[in-house]
Amino acid sequence: MKYIVIVDDSDVIRSIVEQTLKMYNYSNIISAINGKDALPKIKENLGNIAMYIFDVNMPEMDGLTLLEEVRKFDKTTPIIMLTTETDKEKILKAREMGATGWIIKPFEGEKFIKVVDMYLKK
Residues of this chain that bind Mg ion (CB under 5 A): 9, 55, 57-58
Q: How far is the CB of 83 from Mg ion (least distance, A)?
A: 10
Q: How far is the CB of 34 from Mg ion (least distance, A)?
A: 9
Q: How far apart are the first and last CA of the chain?
A: 16
Q: How far is the CB of 69 from Mg ion (least distance, A)?
A: 17
Residue with smaller CB distance to Mg ion, 31 or 57: 57
Residue with smaller CB distance to Mg ion, 42 or 58: 58
Nearest-angstrom CA–CA distance, 41 and 70: 11
Residue with smaller CB distance to Mg ion, 21 or 58: 58
Residue with smaller CB distance to Mg ion, 2 or 41: 41
Q: How far is the CB of 122 from Mg ion (least distance, A)?
A: 26
